[in-house]
C-alpha cells in the first residue's frame, strides 16, 4: 500500500501561526509566576582587568533587593563551563580549552562579562541596585587585533602564551608540487568579519524551584533544551528527571542561543533553588551586544595555483580566527571556514592552517553560516581575481572547475565539524549555475544592458557566486508519535524551534504516514518533559535529522495501526487503507474505524495482552545520519551603485538552491529569504566596531544597522533537487544557505558596477559600507 503524499511537499500554512498572530504564544518573558524575583547583572565596563574588589553592601541594603551575589558566593558551584564541542580528531592540532565562568573571579576578559547579580522585587529595582555596587578594577591592556595578540605581551589567559586558542593544519594532495607546475599563482589577503545574530527577542530565562514536587522548571530561550537540562542537573546535583527545561516560542536564534552554558543559565537556576522562588532574567538589547556570543572576523592569506586554462591545481590558505575571550564551542567556526572554502570546485591539493586567537572581546560561537561565509568569500574572490588575470569570464572559470555530476560521493579528504571526512553526498552543480544565469539574464546583461546603462552614466554591475553547505549533521535526533483518543496525533521531539516552522513541517511528514490532516497534528518541540533525548537546533539539521526521526516514528505507528486494525476487522493488513483519520477495509463500505477509537483499543482495560505487545498507538524512533548532507546553490544579482553616496540599489536578486527533497516550499522560501537578508546585512550594513581598548562602539540598533524592508531586495527563488542518499526522506538542510554567499556576491557586483577591477581596486573585505567604499576608491578620485 502506498503512502499518500498530499501534504509532504505542499506549501501548507503553518499550524503555529494563529497563536503567534493573536499574541497568545508563550515566550520566556511572558512567564509570570507568583512571588517572582527579577535579576539584573552587573557587567564589566572594561575589556581586560584584574578585579581588586567588589563591594555589594550598599546594593544589599537597598529597599526591594533580596540578594546580591558575586563569584565568591557561588562557592563550589562556581566552575568554568563545559567544552561543548571537543576538537575533531585531526592529527597534530593544538587546542587550549578556556571556557567561560558564571561570574568573573580575579579577572575580567571582555566588556559585558558578568561580575555580580542582583535579585529584587522588580527589574527596575534590580537595575537601581547595580548602581550601588562598587567595583575596583585594575585595567590590563586589551587584546583586540589578531596579529598583535600573537606577538604582544598581553595575555587574555595568563597561562596561554601568544593567546593561541588553537592551531589546526589540514591538507590534501601536494600543494607545493601543484604550485611548482602552475601557470598562474595568485595570492591575496582577505578580511571577513561576521557580526551579531541579533534576534528580535533577546535571551532570557525563568527558573522555578518547586519544593513540593522536588522539581526545577526552567523556561529558556535556548536552541538546545536537552543538553541544558542534562548539564544543569549535573551542576546542581539533581537527577535529570528533576529538571524540566522548556524552550517555548523563541524569538529567533540563528546560532548564539545554543551556547551552553551562558553565565545567566548557570546563576539563575542556582539562585531560584536557593531562594525557593521563581526568578526571571531578561537580557536587554545593550546587554545582548556583549553578553550574547558573536561570530566576527578572520584574516586569510590565501593563494591559488591554476593551469593555463584556469583549472585549479591547488589552494593554500593561512588564517587567523578571533575566538573571543573563551572557546566553549571548540573549533566549529574555523573548521567550517577551512572546509567550506573548497566549495563546489575540484581542488586537487589544499593546504590550510588556521590559528584561533583569544582576544578580550565577547565569545565567538556559530551564527547562521557558522564560519562558512568566511571560506566561501576567500574561494569566490580568488576565482574572481583569477578570472580577471587570466582574462576568462567569471562564470566560465567557475564552470570549468565545478565537480562533475558523476564524481559523487566526492571526498575532499579532510575532516569536517561533525568529525567525519568532508565528503559531499550528492549534487549536480552545473544546472544550478545555468538556471541562475538564465534567471538573472547574465549573457544579455553583459552583452547589451550593462553597456546601454553605462552609456547613460549609470553604474550597474552583476555578480554570480557559488557555494556548498554541509548540513544536517549528526549525531542524532529522536521523535515520539502518538495517536490520541480524540483522533489527533501528538508529535514530540527534543530540538527547539525558533521560527523554522517545525510545528508544520513535522506535521506534514506525519500527516501523510497516518492519513490525518496537518492541523490535527500537535507538535511539541523543546520541552524535556515531553521528549528528553537529542542534541538541538543548529547546522541546518532540524528537518534532516529530527524530520527523519519523525518519519521513522510515524512509520512505526502506521504499522501498529494496521496490525491492530487487521485484528479488529479480522482481515489482512494489505486489505486496509488509512486516510481521513480512519482505517477502512478496501472495497467494503462501512467497514471503518476511527484512529481515536483504535487508540482506545490499544490501551485495553480488560483481557489478556499477548507478550511483546506494546500499549497505545505510539512509537519513539531515532535517526542519525552517518555524515552531513551537502546542499549547494548559486546566487546572482544586479546592483546599481550611486557613485557619489555609494548607496546600493539591488535591481534583481536570484537564488537557485538544491536542498534535496522539499517538505514545504513556503517555509523553505522563508528560510532562504531570511538567510539572504542576514547575508545582506553582513555584506554591507552590519559591523561590530571595537576600539583599541576592546570597547564596542556601536552597541545599539541605532548604530548597528540591521537591514530593513528597504535594504533587503525582492528575491526570485528556484530549486533543483538532488536527493540525499544519507536519509530516507532525501532531505538536505536549508536554514543557513541563504546567508552564505552574499558577501562575495556583493563584492563582485559592486566591483563590476564601479568598474573597479580595471582600475586595480579589489574589494577583498566584508563588510563593505558606503563609507568603506569611499575609502577604498578615494585614490581613484
Tell me whether residue 18 or residue 405 sits nearer to other proteins (CB atom). Answer: 18
Q: Taking the complex as a whole, how short is the minimal distance between the CB of residue 707 and other proteins, in angstroms?
A: 8
Q: Taking the complex as a whole, how short is the minimal distance between the CB of residue 41 and other proteins, in angstroms?
A: 16
Cell of 69: 551575589
Residues engaged in binding other proteins (CB under 8 A)? 11, 13-14, 16-25, 27, 29-30, 32, 124, 197-202, 249-252, 254, 284-285, 498-501, 666-667, 669-670, 672-678, 700-702, 706, 708-710, 712, 714-715, 738
Q: Taking the complex as a whole, how short is the minimal distance between the CB of residue 682 and other proteins, in angstroms?
A: 12
CA separation, residue 12 to residues 192, 511, 666, 670 (Å): 38, 12, 7, 13
Using an 8 Å Cβ cutoff, are 294 and 326 in contact?
Answer: no
First CA to last CA distance, the chain:
73
Q: Taking the complex as a whole, how short is the minimal distance between the CB of residue 2 and other proteins, in angstroms?
A: 29
Tell me whether residue 16 or residue 575 sits nearer to other proteins (CB atom). Answer: 16
3-state SS string for 181-199 = CCCEEEEEEEEEEECCCCC
Distance (Å, whole) CA 421 – CA 685: 36
Using an 8 Å Cβ cutoff, are 654 and 715 in contact?
Answer: yes
Tell me whether residue 251 or residue 263 sits nearer to other proteins (CB atom). Answer: 251
Q: Of 412, 418, 193, nearest to 319 (Cα)?
A: 193
Q: Taking the complex as a whole, how short is the minimal distance between the CB of residue 219 and other proteins, in angstroms?
A: 13
Q: Taking the complex as a whole, how short is the minimal distance between the CB of residue 251 and other proteins, in angstroms?
A: 3
Tell me whether residue 515 or residue 681 sits nearer to other proteins (CB atom). Answer: 681
Using an 8 Å Cβ cutoff, are 585 and 576 in contact?
Answer: yes
The set of residues, in sequence order, having a beta carbon less than 8 Å from that of 212 and lying 6+ positions away, is none
Tell me whether residue 11 or residue 725 sits nearer to other proteins (CB atom). Answer: 11
Q: Taking the complex as a whole, how short is the minimal distance between the CB of residue 460 and other proteins, in angstroms?
A: 19
Nearest-5° angle of CA 637, CA 640, CA 644? 150
Residue with cell 535517526: 623
Q: Radius of gyration of the chain from Cα atoms?
A: 28
Cell of 568: 479488529
Is 151 buried (19+), middle (13-18) or exposed (0-12) by CB count in 10 A? exposed
Tell me whether residue 125 or residue 156 sits nearer to other proteins (CB atom). Answer: 125
Across the strands, what pairs with 358?
324
Q: Taking the complex as a whole, how short is the minimal distance between the CB of residue 35 and other proteins, in angstroms?
A: 14
Return the number of other C-beta atoms located less than 10 Å from residue 586's C-beta: 11
Q: Taking the complex as a whole, how short is the minimal distance between the CB of residue 464 and other proteins, in angstroms?
A: 20
Q: In what order do the strands lie in the sheet with 134-139?
A: 107-108, 49-55, 134-139
Q: Taking the complex as a whole, how short is the minimal distance between the CB of residue 500 and other proteins, in angstroms?
A: 7
> Alpha-carbon torsion 674, 675, 681, 684, what sign?
negative
Cell of 764: 577583498
Q: Taking the complex as a whole, how short is the minimal distance between the CB of residue 562 and other proteins, in angstroms?
A: 34
3-state secondary structure of 651: strand
Ordered alpha helix ranges (H), 348-456? 372-390, 394-401, 429-440, 442-444, 450-455
Q: Taking the complex as a whole, how short is the minimal distance between the CB of residue 248 and other proteins, in angstroms?
A: 11
Cell of 265: 543559565
Tell me whether residue 675 or residue 741 sits nearer to other proteins (CB atom). Answer: 675
Nearest-5° angle of CA 479, CA 481, CA 486? 150
Tell me whether residue 285 or residue 759 sits nearer to other proteins (CB atom). Answer: 285
DSSP state of 331: T
Tell me whether residue 409 or residue 519 sits nearer to other proteins (CB atom). Answer: 519
Cell of 477: 535526533
Tell me whether residue 282 or residue 395 sits nearer to other proteins (CB atom). Answer: 282
Q: Taking the complex as a whole, how short is the minimal distance between the CB of residue 245 and other proteins, in angstroms?
A: 19
Tell me whether residue 625 or residue 713 sits nearer to other proteins (CB atom). Answer: 713
Distance (Å, whole) CA 449 – CA 88: 50
CA 760 to chain centre: 36
- Give the max Cα distance, the chain: 92
The set of residues, in sequence order, having a beta carbon less than 8 Å from that of 401 and lying 6+ positions away, is 310, 311, 312, 345, 346, 347, 383
Q: Taking the complex as a whole, how short is the minimal distance between the CB of residue 719 and other proteins, in angstroms?
A: 16
Distance (Å, whole) CA 722 – CA 740: 20
Cα torsion at 237, 243, 249, 255 (round to 10°)?
30
Q: Taking the complex as a whole, how short is the minimal distance between the CB of residue 649 and other proteins, in angstroms?
A: 12
Using an 8 Å Cβ cutoff, are 246 and 221 in contact?
Answer: no
Q: Taking the complex as a whole, how short is the minimal distance between the CB of residue 522 and other proteins, in angstroms?
A: 14
The set of residues, in sequence order, having a beta carbon less than 8 Å from that of 161 and lying 6+ positions away, is 155
Tell me whether residue 511 or residue 557 sits nearer to other proteins (CB atom). Answer: 511
Tell me whether residue 93 or residue 286 sits nearer to other proteins (CB atom). Answer: 286
Using an 8 Å Cβ cutoff, are 119 and 280 in contact?
Answer: no
Tell me whether residue 125 or residue 387 sits nearer to other proteins (CB atom). Answer: 125
Tell me whether residue 149 or residue 524 sits nearer to other proteins (CB atom). Answer: 524
Using an 8 Å Cβ cutoff, are 350 and 342 in contact?
Answer: yes
Q: Of 29, 33, 64, nearest to 208 (Cα)?
A: 33
Q: Taking the complex as a whole, how short is the minimal distance between the CB of residue 542 and other proteins, in angstroms?
A: 13
Tell me whether residue 149 or residue 699 sits nearer to other proteins (CB atom). Answer: 699
Tell me whether residue 88 or residue 204 sits nearer to other proteins (CB atom). Answer: 204
Tell me whether residue 202 or residue 619 sits nearer to other proteins (CB atom). Answer: 202
Q: Taking the complex as a whole, how short is the minimal distance between the CB of residue 284 and other proteins, in angstroms?
A: 6
Distance (Å, whole) CA 464 – CA 655: 10
Cell of 88: 575533531
Return the number of other C-beta atoms located less than 10 Å from residue 482's C-beta: 18
Amino acid at each position: 500500500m502506498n503512502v499518500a503524499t498530499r501534504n509532504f511537499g505542499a506549501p501548507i500554512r503553518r499550524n503555529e501561526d494563529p497563536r503567534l498572530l493573536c499574541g497568545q504564544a508563550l515566550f520566556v518573558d511572558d512567564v509570570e509566576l507568583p512571588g517572582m524575583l527579577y535579576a539584573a547583572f552587573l557587567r564589566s565596563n572594561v575589556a581586560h582587568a584584574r578585579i581588586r574588589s567588589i563591594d555589594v553592601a550598599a546594593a544589599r541594603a537597598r529597599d526591594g533587593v533580596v540578594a546580591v551575589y558575586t563569584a565568591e558566593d557561588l562557592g563550589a558551584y562556581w566552575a568554568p563551563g563545559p567544552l561543548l564541542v571537543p576538537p575533531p580528531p585531526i592529527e597534530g592540532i593544538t587546542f587550549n580549552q578556556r571556557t567561560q565562568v558564571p561570574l568573573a573571579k580575579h579577572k575580567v576578559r571582555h566588556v559585558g562579562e558578568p561580575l555580580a547579580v542582583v535579585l529584587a522585587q522588580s527589574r527596575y529595582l534590580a537595575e537601581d541596585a547595580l548602581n550601588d555596587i562598587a567595583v575596583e578594577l585594575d585595567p590590563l591592556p586589551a587584546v583586540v587585533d589578531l596579529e598583535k595578540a600573537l606577538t604582544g605581551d598581553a595575555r587574555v589567559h595568563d597561562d596561554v602564551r601568544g593567546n593561541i586558542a588553537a592551531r589546526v593544519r589540514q591538507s590534501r594532495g601536494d600543494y607545493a608540487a601543484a604550485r611548482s607546475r602552475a601557470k598562474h599563482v595568485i595570492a591575496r589577503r582577505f578580511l571577513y568579519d561576521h557580526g551579531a545574530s541579533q534576534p528580535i527577542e533577546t535571551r532570557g530565562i525563568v527558573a522555578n524551584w518547586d519544593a513540593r514536587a522536588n522539581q526545577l522548571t526552567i523556561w529558556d530561550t535556548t536552541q538546545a533544551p536537552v543538553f541544558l537540562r542534562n548539564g544543569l542537573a549535573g551542576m546542581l546535583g539533581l537527577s535529570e528527571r528533576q529538571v524540566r527545561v522548556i524552550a517555548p516560542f523563541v524569538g529567533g536564534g540563528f546560532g548564539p542561543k545554543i551556547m551552553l552554558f551562558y553565565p545567566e543559565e548557570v546563576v539563575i537556576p542556582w539562585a531560584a533553588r536557593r531562594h525557593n522562588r521563581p526568578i526571571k532574567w531578561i537580557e536587554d538589547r545593550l546587554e545582548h551586544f556583549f553578553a550574547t556570543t558573536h561570530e566576527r572576523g578572520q584574516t586569510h592569506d590565501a593563494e591559488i595555483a591554476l593551469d593555463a586554462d584556469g583549472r585549479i591545481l591547488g589552494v593554500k590558505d593561512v588564517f587567523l580566527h578571533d575566538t573571543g575571550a573563551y572557546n566553549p564551542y571548540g573549533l566549529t567556526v574555523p573548521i567550517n571556514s577551512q572546509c567550506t572554502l573548497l566549495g563546489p570546485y575540484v581542488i586537487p591539493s589544499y593546504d590550510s592552517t588556521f590559528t584561533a586567537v583569544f582576544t578580550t572581546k565577547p565569545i565567538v560561537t556559530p551564527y547562521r553560516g557558522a564560519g562558512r561565509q568566511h571560506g566561501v568569500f576567500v574561494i569566490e574572490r580568488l576565482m574572481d581575481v583569477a578570472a580577471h588575470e587570466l582574462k576568462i569570464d567569471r562564470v566560465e572559470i567557475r564552470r570549468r572547475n565545478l565537480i562533475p555530476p558523476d564524481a559523487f560521493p566526492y571526498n575532499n579528504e579532510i575532516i569536517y565539524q561533525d568529525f567525519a571526512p568532508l565528503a559531499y553526498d550528492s549534487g549536480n552543480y552545473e544546472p544550478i549555475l545555468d538556471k541562475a544565469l538564465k534567471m538573472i539574464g547574465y549573457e544579455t546583461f553583459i552583452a547589451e544592458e550593462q553597456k546601454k546603462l553605462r552609456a547613460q552614466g549609470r553604474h550597474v554591475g552583476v555578480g554570480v557566486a557559488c557555494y556548498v553547505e554541509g548540513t544536517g549533521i549528526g549525531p542524532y535526533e529522536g521523535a515520539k508519535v502518538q495517536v490520541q483518543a480524540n483522533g489527533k496525533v501528538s508529535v514530540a521531539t527534543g530540538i527547539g524551534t525558533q521560527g523554522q516552522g517545525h510545528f508544520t513541517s513535522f506535521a506534514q511528514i506525519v500527516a501523510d504516514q497516518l492519513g490525518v490532516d496537518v492541523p490535527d497534528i500537535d507538535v511539541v518541540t523543546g520541552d524535556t518533559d515531553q521528549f528528553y533525548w537529542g542534541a538541538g537546533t543548529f547546522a541546518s539539521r532540524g528537518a534532516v535529522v529530527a524530520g527523519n526521526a519523525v518519519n521513522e516514528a510515524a512509520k512505526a505507528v502506521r504499522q501498529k495501526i494496521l496490525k491492530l486494525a487487521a485484528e479488529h476487522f479480522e482481515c489482512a493488513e494489505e486489505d486496509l487503507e488509512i486516510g481521513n483519520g480512519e482505517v477502512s477495509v478496501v472495497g467494503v463500505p462501512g467497514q471503518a474505524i476511527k484512529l481515536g477509537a483504535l487508540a482506545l483499543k490499544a490501551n485495553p482495560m480488560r483481557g489478556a495482552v499477548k507478550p511483546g505487545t506494546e500499549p497505545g498507538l505510539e512509537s519513539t524512533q531515532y535517526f542519525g545520519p552517518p555524515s552531513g548532507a551537502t546542499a549547494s546553490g548559486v546566487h546572482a544579482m544586479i546592483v546599481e551603485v550611486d557613485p557619489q553616496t555609494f548607496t546600493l540599489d539591488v535591481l534583481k536578486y536570484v537564488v537557485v538552491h538544491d536542498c534535496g527533497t522539499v517538505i514545504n516550499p513556503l517555509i523553505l522560501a522563508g528560510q532562504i529569504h531570511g538567510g539572504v537578508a542576514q547575508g545582506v546585512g553582513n555584506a554591507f550594513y552590519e559591523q561590530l566596531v571595537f576600539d583599541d581598548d576592546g570597547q564596542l562602539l556601536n552597541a545599539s540598533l541605532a548604530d548597528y544597522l540591521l537591514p530593513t524592508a528597504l535594504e533587503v531586495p525582492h528575491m526570485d527563488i528556484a530549486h533543483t533537487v538532488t536527493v540525499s542518499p544519507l536519509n530516507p526522506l532525501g532531505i538536505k538542510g536549508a536554514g543557513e544557505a541563504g546567508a552564505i554567499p552574499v558577501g562575495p556576491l556583493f563584492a563582485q557586483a559592486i566591483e563590476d558596477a564601479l568598474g573597479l577591477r580595471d582600475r586595480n581596486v579589489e574589494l577583498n573585505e566584508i563588510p563593505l559600507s558606503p563609507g568603506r567604499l569611499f575609502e577604498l576608491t578615494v585614490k581613484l578620485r
